[in-house]
């Protein structure tokens, strides 16, 4: 018989000489079926080119192998790595990702969750938007499916949360600059409503005060995730405050833009701050491109792929045991020392 997408489960049963229920049990990896029968069914599937309709099987068994994942920005390297880890973990347990993005918009996040529930997902991982998080949790509870939150900063204690230690990351970066002799350190990037930025500035300020160094609001500059804007802000900052010898950069794009801003004021990026011509620079969220600049960028790295794997593990566990107590997993940062600081 020629292979065809029209092949039905009854064709497989006839070819293998078994009942339709036996084929279903074999395909679902259920029941006590002899190896010989399993082999016959699998040979029939291969010979006929049968493709199982998982959606229909899910409806019949009231079980889905789809997991919804709603991230904030599909182009953000942070979420790309998280997605890879989440997908790796789920695929090992025969589950697949159903991917969407919210663009940091509350109404879009809620819409995505509604669509995923309608599609019958078995669980949801989401990157939160503060105005919508409670509604997402309510919807997941009504649908009787587990949810976990994957993000740069925690927003709700009622949901499993996996994310980086932003406060510790900033302390680690600031301390590294201080140990290199820097005494005037600025922070560039992010917006005032960002919880991630607030946590990082908290670590930055705490470390400065521990060492008796100045913490000045005018040295903390907002900037969108844009290289051109970052270059302009850094040029203006260093012109107005020439004592600054080091910068913490909120995102990789900010760090790359800062390099141009530093050059515009006649200085260079590097570790030698004693002659007053080099500016130390550390960015957050390490990317492969950071190693390619000249000099290469010293960065703070968080185990983003591990975050995704943990989220997958938690969802799978909560699918088996409902109403588990919410847990938080805060993963430690690592300093990747290169040429810029």
173 and 158 belong to one structural domain: no
Instruction: Give me the mean pLDDT over the 156-180 stretch.
Output: 93
Residues 144-158 have a mean pLDDT of: 84
- Helix or strand run (H / E) with residue 134: helix 133-142
The sign of the dihedral angle between the CA atoms of 187, 192, 197, 199 is: positive
Q: Please check whether residue 311 lies inside any domain of the structure.
A: yes
pLDDT surpasses 50 at 4 = no
Short-list 335, 338, 328, CA closest to 153: 328
CB 237 within 8 A of CB 221: yes
pLDDT at 6: 74
Average pLDDT over residues 84-100: 94
Which range among 131-135, 250-254, 281-285 shows the weakest confidence by mean pLDDT?
Answer: 131-135
pLDDT for the residue 56: 52
Do 244 and 321 lie in one domain? The reply is no
- Residue 63, Cβ neighbours under 10 Å: how many? 12
Contact 298, 249 (CB under 8 A): no
CA 312 to chain centre: 12
pLDDT tens profile 258-282: 999 999 999 999 988 666 789 999 9
Whether 175 and 272 share a structural domain: yes
Instruction: Tell me: do 129 and 192 sit in the same domain.
Output: no
Domain assignment present for residue 212? The answer is: yes
Q: Report how many domains make up the chain.
A: 3
The answer as to whether 338 is a domain residue is no
Read off the pLDDT band of 240 (50, 70, 90): very high
Specify the DSSP element, H or E, that contains 71.
Answer: strand 66-71
Within a domain: residue 58?
A: no
Would you tell me how many other CB atoms lie within 10 Å of the CB of residue 157? 8
The overall average pLDDT reported for the chain is: 89
Instruction: Evaluate if residue 185 carries a pLDDT over 70.
Output: yes
Q: Identify whether residues 184 and 213 lie together within a single domain.
A: yes
Whole-number pLDDT of residue 44: 86
Tell me whether residue 35 is in a domain.
Answer: yes
| 20 and 84 together in one domain | no
Same domain for 235 and 258? yes
Average the pLDDT over 134-163 and give the result.
87
CA angle, 288 then 167 then 223, to 5°: 65
Do 39 and 156 reside in the same domain of the chain? Answer: no
Tell me, yes or no, whether 294 and 178 share the same domain: yes
Task: Enter the tokens of residue 239.
Answer: 């012109």
Is the same domain home to 255 and 312?
A: no
pLDDT confidence tier of residue 321, bands split at 50, 70 and 90 = confident
Mean pLDDT of the 305-320 span = 94
pLDDT digits (tens, 9 = 90+) for 14-34: 888 988 778 877 877 776 788
In a domain, 119, yes or no: yes
Q: Could you give the CA distance from residue 275 to residue 261 in angstroms, rounded to a whole number?
A: 19
pLDDT at 59: 45
- The pTM assigned to this predicted structure is 0.78
pLDDT-derived band at 295, boundaries 50, 70, 90: very high
Residue with the larger pLDDT of the pair 318 and 8:
318
The CATH number of residue 193's host domain is 3.40.50.2300
**pLDDT, average across residues 215-220:** 95
Tell me what the mean pLDDT of segment 309-322 comes to: 91
pLDDT of residue 5: 53
Is 3 a domain residue? no
Q: Which pLDDT value is given to residue 57?
A: 53
**Mean pLDDT confidence for 132-138:** 90
**Which structural domain range is residue 123 located in?**
65-164+305-331
Q: Are 189 and 279 in the same domain?
A: yes
Of the listed ranges 132-136, 161-165, 241-245, 307-311, the least confidently predicted one is 132-136
Looking at the structure, do residues 253 and 210 belong to the same domain, yes or no? yes
Assess whether pLDDT exceeds 80 at residue 107: yes
CB of 280 closer than 8 Å to CB of 246:
yes
> What is the rounded CA–CA span in Å between residue 274 and residue 161?
43
Q: Within a 10 A sphere around the Cβ of 222, how many other Cβ atoms?
A: 16
Confidence bin at 42 (pLDDT 50/70/90): confident
Domain assignment present for 336: no
Q: What pLDDT does 35 receive? A: 85
Among 50-54, 65-69, 87-91, 298-302, which is the least confidently predicted range? 50-54
């Amino acid at each position: 018989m020629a292979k065809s997408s029209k092949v039905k489960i009854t064709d497989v049963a006839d070819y293998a000489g078994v009942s339709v229920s036996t084929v279903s049990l074999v395909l679902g990896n259920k029941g006590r079926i002899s190896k010989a029968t399993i082999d016959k069914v699998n040979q029939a599937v291969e010979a006929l080119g049968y493709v199982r309709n998982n959606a229909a099987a899910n409806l019949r068994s009231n079980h889905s192998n789809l997991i919804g994942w709603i991230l904030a920005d599909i182009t953000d390297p942070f979420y790309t790595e998280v997605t890879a880890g989440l997908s790796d973990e789920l695929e090992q347990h025969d589950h697949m990702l159903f991917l969407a993005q919210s663009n940091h918009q509350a109404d879009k996040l809620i819409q995505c969750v509604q669509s995923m529930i309608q599609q019958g997902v078995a669980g949801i991982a989401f990157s939160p938007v503060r105005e919508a998080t409670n509604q997402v949790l309510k919807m997941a509870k009504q649908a009787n499916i587990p949810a976990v939150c994957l993000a740069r900063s925690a927003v709700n204690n009622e949901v499993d949360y996996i994310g980086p230690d932003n406060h510790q990351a900033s302390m680690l970066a600031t301390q590294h600059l201080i140990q290199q002799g820097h005494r005037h350190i600025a922070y560039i990037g992010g917006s005032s409503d960002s919880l991630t930025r607030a946590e990082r500035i908290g670590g930055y300020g705490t470390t400065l005060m521990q060492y008796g160094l100045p913490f000045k609001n005018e040295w903390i500059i907002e900037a969108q995730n844009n290289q051109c804007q970052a270059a302009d802000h850094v040029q203006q900052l260093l012109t107005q405050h020439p004592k600054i010898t080091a910068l913490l950069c909120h995102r990789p794009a900010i760090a790359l833009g800062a390099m141009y801003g530093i050059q515009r004021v006649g200085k260079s990026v590097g570790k030698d701050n004693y002659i007053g011509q080099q500016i130390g620079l550390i960015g957050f969220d390490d990317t492969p491109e950071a190693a390619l600049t000249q000099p290469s960028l010293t960065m703070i790295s968080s185990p983003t792929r591990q975050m995704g794997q943990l989220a997958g593990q938690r969802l799978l566990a909560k699918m088996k045991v409902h109403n588990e107590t919410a847990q938080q997993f805060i993963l430690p940062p690592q300093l990747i020392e290169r040429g810029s600081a």
